[in-house]
Amino acid sequence: MDFELTEEQQMVRDMARRFAEAEIKPKAAEFDKTHQHPAEIVKQLGELKMLGIAVPEEYGGGGMDNVSYVLALIEVSKACASTGVIMSVNNSLYCFPVMAYGTEEQKKKYLYPCASGGKLGCYGLTESGAGSDPASMRTTAVKDGDEWIINGEKRFITNGNVASYCVLAAVTDKGAGYKGISSFVVDLENTPGFRVGKVEEKLGILASGTAELVFEDARLPADALLGKQGEGFKQMLTTLDGGRIGIAAQAVGIGRSVLEEALEYAKTREQFGKPISSFQAIQWKLADMATELDAAELLTLRAAWLEDHHKPYEKAAAMAKMYASDVTMRASIEGIQILGGYGYCKEYPMERHMRDAKICQIYEGTNEIMRLVIARNLIRGR
Name the β-bridge partners of 215.
Answer: 152, 194
Neighbours of 129 (CB within 10 A): 10
Name the β-bridge partners of 218.
Answer: 150
- The answer to whether 352 and 32 have CB atoms below 8 angstroms apart is yes
Counting every residue written for the chain, the total comes to 382
Q: How many Cα atoms sit within 13 Å of 57 on the Cβ side?
A: 3
Query: For strand 165-171 and strand 121-124, is the pairing parallel, antiparallel, or unpaired?
Result: parallel
Name the β-bridge partners of 122.
Answer: 166
d(CA 297, CA 293): 6
d(CA 299, CA 282): 26
**Chain centroid to CA 37: how far?**
16
CA gyration radius for the chain? 21
Which residues are known to be catalytic? 364
d(CA 116, CA 47): 7
Q: How far apart, in Å, are the Cα atoms of 289 and each of 16, 52, 258?
A: 23, 31, 9
Neighbours of 114 (CB within 10 A): 28
Helices and strands (H, E) in the chain, number of each type: 13, 10
Hey, is 27 helix, strand or coil? helix
